[in-house]
Structure 1
């Protein structure tokens, strides 16, 4: 039986050749896409690159090589994009080819402020990154927390001067936040003279006052003087001082919160409390502790004392009595670092009270 050729077979073969030619031309053009960057403001840059054998990724360091020298940059975003190219086919009319390329943006880390156009982009070598980033600010301590992910062997160094303002650390559960913060705190205590106050809900950092016996000798030597500068205020055997407060030290809002008073819903009792607290002697408030409420001659004070007793507030361990208060230490610190393991307190209400009171006191310092 002989093969039968239909008129459509030739058309199919021709179409397949055209598709193969299109793909070949497209790949050749895509591979020929030059890795070029442009910056208008001298602070950020945009770039293009071929998707074939792409070496650039988000976070990586790049060298931007121009006629006026090389700049260090860091890629902050990269994604695939398309670009249409119009061409004339051999023996035919014009055609368009859609190229798939990489486009992205980044920040300039060196020679900031100078604009440029169409400079070459290449992956930076670790020694090139180190030349710009590894050295700390000469008048401030550098805090080494590891090495750069995209520049192996180059230390990751934080400028300690950046911690004079708010810093936010976040991550998923199990991502290493506790360990990373512990390392950062150790570096701050060993390399700077910054005052540190730690509200520690899970008692993760009570060990800052001790050096592990199996620690590296060089690291131990750098940390040698730190334990004497750390004081732990808690409610268990690991604490240097008992974590205590005085009712009289609390501001009116905190005192009302302890007694479960709302300034609107419980306006009469709230007003009674505020009035009692305004009655001061020569050097102290009329009501210095909750125990005084129950023993007061004032019926209103007795009612507040009864409320405290019903709420179980009188049984809280956090009340100082004749013990020192942590707020006294915050105002006149005996140690550079104060660790407050909130989880050592018996109730959530006590933990909230201590955290609120300490934060309120710190806000007065700003």
Structure 2
């Protein structure tokens, strides 16, 4: 039926999906529609459009009745009209699903606010977009909403110092989000910034396997030295490495002296990462502030970034049975999650993240991973993510992989990613009422890292 002969007619045989044979005009993938069979009105989502035949397919989201949307009840029908959704029905969808975090403006008619479901951050989230897409800025918008309007503690692993100003407000910032952020406890830990709370880790707090990773010890290749730290477990669990070093140097055991040489040759005692008398990052995270930003980029060597990341992840995993929820935001996740990383420290961090991705959800350890290159993140982590935020992405390899991993995101919407403008995104999965194309809102806090402009005459 074409547009001139009346509204299109849909059919549903299973009460879950619907089909409009076409030809149909005026509907796009991602659009919400109202399906009316004369007995009931149902809210639906267009998920597929056959351009050759002009037909479309979609799924039913719930029954509209008495100014409510019942998402638990959908029904089959032999024939029903399909019409564009009205703003009131969109509001009913947000109310029914608990979508309360306003992060942007919906780009598909009828428009209106785009909102996320705060309670569905209890699933892992994958966030991606190429350089220049606005990925980091947009992530800041979402973090502001989570910190301001939920009680979920957030820990940000920040390798580029992009979120170090999350505890500040832009001049003139106002409204409920700004007001709430003023009251939040946001801690920013930095390695070498005067006046800032120091970002540190304790060697004694690491489990044995992580201590070995810091020392670059392999249990087989370096079996004598590794065996030495196994027998020194009690000493290394109660004393800083610097306090143990003189004893190792003066020992009659050759393995102890070799271990001392290893510590000195690696320059471990010159690392600024060790806590000494300062509080360690694990102590601050244990205080459970509303947000903790770990400025990893301030260290002089990447190994020290990995030590802090490993210390925090190990501690949270060791205490997982306490079931204290926390959202772990890993910015530039390819730096910590790449399958190509092969140093002992990098492998230890990645494997801990793989473990948290696979098993952490039931303990309240939830990941939000942000990256420019999905293909450089370990597939065992991506496959565990139930939420997707996709910004501009032109790499065919990455887009193909995303379509494979995130089957709940309509393929046609993923395919539009190369033409997204800066700040535009596709959100799909459990943390959004339905797959949504949106333009992100402005932030109320300043972005820490911004592009350096090209000098002009």
TM-score (structure 2 length as normaliser) = 0.62
Q: Is the 8 A contact 2:189 2:295 kept in 1?
A: yes
How has the CA–CA distance of structure 1 residues 328 and 154 changed in structure 2, closer, same or farther, with 3 Å as cutoff?
Answer: same
The question of 1:259 aligning with 2:230 is answered: no
Please give the per-residue CA displacement for 1:40-61, whole angstroms capped at 9, x wherever unaligned. Answer: 332222222225xx21111111
Q: Deviations over 1:289-322 (max 9, x none)?
A: 2452244343433321211211122211101111
Q: Deviations over 1:318-340 (max 9, x none)?
A: 01111111112223x16221111
Asked whether 1:80 is paired with 2:35, we answer no
Deviation at 1:157, TM superposition (A): 1.6
Structure-1 residue corresponding to 2:28: 57
Counterpart position of 2:449: none
Supply the distance in 1 between the matched residues of 2:96 and 2:133 (Cα, whole angstroms). 27
Correspondences of 1:87-102 after superposition (within 5 Å)? 101-102=53-54
Is 1:242 aligned to residue 242 of structure 2? no
TM-fit CA distance, 1:214: 3.0
The answer on whether the counterparts of 2:206 and 2:314 sit within 8 Å (CA) in structure 1 is no
Secondary structure of the structure 2 residue equivalent to 1:167: strand
- Name the CA shift for 1:342/1:243 in 2 (closer, same or farther; >3 Å): same
Matched, 1:329 2:289: no
Size of the aligned set, in residue pairs, is 308
Q: Return the alpha-carbon distance in structure 1 between the equivalents of residues 289 and 247 of structure 2.
A: 37
Structure 2 equivalent of residue 341 of structure 1: 295
Shift of 1:191: 1.0
Unmatched 5+ stretches in structure 2: 64-72, 321-362, 364-457
> What secondary structure, in the 3-state scheme, does the structure 2 residue paired with 1:37 have?
strand
Q: Distance in 1 between matches of 2:2 and 2:182?
A: 62
1:120 aligns with 2:78: no
Q: Deviations over 1:28-73 (max 9, x none)?
A: 989769722222332222222225xx21111111111111122111
Runs of 4+ in 1 over 6 A off after TM superposition: 28-31
Work out the CA distance in 2 between the residues paired with 1:239 and 1:145: 33
Equivalent residues in 2 for 1:171-250, closer than 5 Å:
171-216=129-174, 219-226=177-184, 229-237=185-193, 240-250=196-206
Q: How does 1:280-319 map to 2 (within 5 A)?
A: 280=235, 285=237, 287-296=239-248, 297-298=250-251, 299=253, 300-319=255-274
Q: CA deviation at 1:245?
A: 1.0
Q: 1:39: which partner in 2?
A: 12
How far apart, CA to CA, are the structure 2 residues paired with 1:224 and 1:319? 32
The whole-number CA distance in structure 1 between the counterparts of 2:296 and 2:3 is 59
Give ranges in structure 1 of 5+ residues lacking alignment: 1-27, 82-100
**RMSD of aligned alpha carbons:** 2.6
How far, CA to CA, are the matches of 1:343 and 1:106 in structure 2? 45
1:106 counterpart residue number: 58
Structure ranking higher on relative contact order (CA contacts 8 Å, 6+ apart): 2
Deviation sequence 1:92-144 (CA, Å, 0-9, x none)? xxxxxxxxx212222222224311222122222333322x2233756xx8211
Asked if 2 retains the 8 angstrom alpha-carbon contact of 1:245 and 1:326, the reply is yes
Does structure 1 retain, via aligned residues, the 8 Å contact 2:42–2:74? no
CA distance in 2, matches of 1:324, 1:145: 35
Distance 1:272 1:201 in 2: 34
Q: Is residue 230–residue 337 contact of structure 1 (8 Å, CA) maintained in 2?
A: yes
